Structure 1
Amino acid sequence: MLTNPITPEEFKEGQILLFDKPLGWTSFQLVNKVRWLIRKSCNIKKIKVGHAGTLDPLASGLLILCTGKFTKKIEEYQAQEKEYTGTITLGATTPSYDMETEVNESFGIDHISEEDIIGATLEFLGEIDQVPPVFSALKKEGKRLYEYARNGEDVEIPSRKVEIKEFEITEIRFPEVDFRVTCSKGTYIRSLANDFGKSLGTGAYLSSLRRTKIGGFIVEDSLDIASFENLLP
């Protein structure tokens, strides 16, 4: 974790900043906040700041920000393996596959045992075909998927290959199931939750999510905004 103040020259040459993105913030909002703080404290008119991998507003955890010349490294960090922890709620679905939208359908879960839940994780290990959520920022024909969804338009979303390296159940409190997942770039944990429910013969949605690792970077080494301000000149 960074502990010493960073100079304007160091920001321009390039810094890797690890942040613990708070719930409710978009990744874009965090980038804007950090850019504004750097410009204000360093008296810089222009500074490049970008993030390496979006986190949904309803997710918290590790977000890598790059400044100055290090923004060229963003694709390198985006491509690295990710680790997440979170909670899947069984017995219901939502259109967004998480809590951004209201429950649209309910299902029974009395037929599901703890052994079923643990066994179902094995179906998702390795390379799988995954369909991204329609409530996502991916583009089709120049339009964001969530724009189609919010307009009530049907859109066909092609599946894509992703890799689930580890899928561990850490606690079961029916209807909630806590998990830890390590996965490749491009994996949607919301889609994994939705598909996990289907594999158990019920519905499921993602009710909490936290990103804990990106490659060799861990959330324990990350900053919050107040800590970052203390590093500014």
Structure 2
Amino acid sequence: MINGIINIYKEKGYTSHDVVAKLRGILGQKKIGHTGTLDPDAEGVLPVCLGRATRLCDMLTEKNKIYEAVLLLGKTTDTQDITGRVLEERDTSSLTESYIKECIQGYIGEYEQLPPMYSALKVKGRKLYELAREGIEVERKKRLVQIFDITIDRIELPRISMEVKCSKGTYIRTLCHDIGQDLGAGGCMEALLRTKVGRFELKDSLRLAQVENLKETGKLSEVIVPTDAMFSELPSLTVADEYWTYACNGNPLKPEYMTKKKTVSEGERVRIYDEEKTFIGIYHYNISKGEYRLGKMFFSPSKK
């Protein structure tokens, strides 16, 4: 089984679930999970976790993201993007660049965003987009998201090209819709490219055809990011072989179980390895108990 993370370029027309299904066929393994939904018409970076690294999926979903988006002013749709049914069209000729820039810059910082009906969020066990397709609209609660920066690349009315750096949970479709509403012209998202998720960048992403070719030529391991690389900022410790079973069973580990002593502070997280340099998991130190406690296990006890 392959363990690690692969940086996939999700192409237009595929859902994130489609990418996982395709990879299962290419790699010949079932244990695969993606790290955040991209709409079918959106493209770009989609980190995919393989094998034991699927335990990272929720952590990668939490990462900040960067997008390149095209906002189409003057058109409001039910999906908040160009694929939806047009609800209203307005003239944009009276809008000035200075007014547009002032409005868009006003979104930098925290802002309350109402999740769109056409989204994968669940209400009472059902995805919102399923309800929307049945013509059912339900009440949603606004969520606080953060826009770290918006860079306007080009204004050629009715289109605005911009780069958005934002927190997890931000809907760029909804951002485009909200900007359009504030400008009094309406708006929807015409195109979306995700260029970065955490440490994963567009320039390193691979299309499915490239992954298939690497698998066939035996070079796939060259592009798999090891699971422990996601925690490279944390100090590492090695548990002695005689205490190996304690570690793989998730038991607390005493400092004396380690091959080397290290001074750590309360709650400090560390990477724990065995003497064969196999990554076991992430632990945090509890001073009152004088032990390392398991935070997340990334190891299969069937190894030995």
User: What is the TM-score with the length of structure 1 in the denominator?
Assistant: 0.90
Q: 2:109 aligns with which of 126, 151, 170?
A: 126
Shift of 1:155: 1.2
Separation in structure 2 between the aligned mates of residue 49 and residue 148 of structure 1, nearest angstrom: 28
Report the 3-state secondary structure (helix = DSSP H, G, I; strand = E; otherwise coil) of the residue aligned with 2:6.
strand
One-letter amino acid of the structure 2 residue matched with residue 60 of structure 1: E
Separation in structure 1 between the aligned mates of residue 144 and residue 59 of structure 2, nearest angstrom: 19
One-letter amino acid of the structure 1 residue matched with residue 162 of structure 2: F
Segments of 4+ moved more than 6 angstroms: none
Separation in structure 1 between the aligned mates of residue 127 and residue 200 of structure 2, nearest angstrom: 30
Q: What is the correspondence of 1:77-92 to structure 2 with a 5 Å cutoff?
A: 77-92=60-75
Q: 1:179 aligns with which of 154, 162, 187?
A: 162
Q: 1:164 aligns with which of 147, 158, 165?
A: 147
Report the 3-state secondary structure (helix = DSSP H, G, I; strand = E; otherwise coil) of the residue aligned with 1:104.
strand
Counterpart of 1:30? 19
Q: Which moved more, 1:109-118 or 1:77-86?
A: 109-118
Q: What is the correspondence of 1:5-84 to structure 2 with a 5 Å cutoff?
A: 9=1, 11=2, 14-39=3-28, 46-84=29-67
Shift of 1:62: 0.4
- Unaligned runs of at least 5 residues, structure 2: 219-304
Identity of aligned residues (%): 39
One-letter amino acid of the structure 2 residue matched with residue 22 of structure 1: E
Shift of 1:102: 2.5
Separation in structure 2 between the aligned mates of residue 35 and residue 191 of structure 1, nearest angstrom: 32
Q: Write out per-residue CA displacement over residues 16-40 of structure 1, whole angstroms, 9 at most, x where no aligned residue.
A: 100111101000001100011111x
Q: Write out per-residue CA displacement over residues 95-130 of structure 1, whole angstroms, 9 at most, x where no aligned residue.
A: 000022122211121221011111112221111100
Are 1:213 and 2:196 an aligned pair?
yes
Check conservation: 1:121, 1:168, Cα contact below 8 A.
no
Counterpart of 2:211? 228
Q: Which moved more, 1:223-232 or 1:61-70?
A: 223-232
Counterpart of 1:195? 178
Separation in structure 2 between the aligned mates of residue 200 and residue 82 of structure 1, nearest angstrom: 25
Check conservation: 1:91, 1:108, Cα contact below 8 A.
yes
Separation in structure 1 between the aligned mates of residue 58 and residue 133 of structure 2, nearest angstrom: 30
Q: What is the correspondence of 1:82-161 to structure 2 with a 5 Å cutoff?
A: 82-161=65-144
Shift of 1:160: 0.5
Check conservation: 2:117, 2:137, Cα contact below 8 A.
no
Question: Relative CO higher for 1 or 2, CA cutoff 8 Å, sep ≥ 6?
Answer: 1
Shift of 1:218: 0.3
Report the 3-state secondary structure (helix = DSSP H, G, I; strand = E; otherwise coil) of the residue aligned with 1:110.
coil
Q: Write out per-residue CA displacement over residues 116-167 of structure 1, whole angstroms, 9 at most, x where no aligned residue.
A: 1111122211111000111111111111111221111231111001000011
Separation in structure 2 between the aligned mates of residue 141 and residue 149 of structure 1, nearest angstrom: 14
Q: Which moved more, 1:143-152 or 1:217-226?
A: 143-152
Separation in structure 2 between the aligned mates of residue 104 and residue 47 of structure 1, nearest angstrom: 42
Check conservation: 1:91, 1:109, Cα contact below 8 A.
yes
- Unaligned runs of at least 5 residues, structure 1: 1-8, 40-45
Considering only CA atoms, is the larger Rg found in Structure 1 or Structure 2? 2
Shift of 1:182: 0.5
Separation in structure 2 between the aligned mates of residue 160 and residue 223 of structure 1, nearest angstrom: 32
Check conservation: 2:35, 2:57, Cα contact below 8 A.
yes
Check conservation: 2:71, 2:161, Cα contact below 8 A.
yes
Separation in structure 2 between the aligned mates of residue 92 and residue 16 of structure 1, nearest angstrom: 39
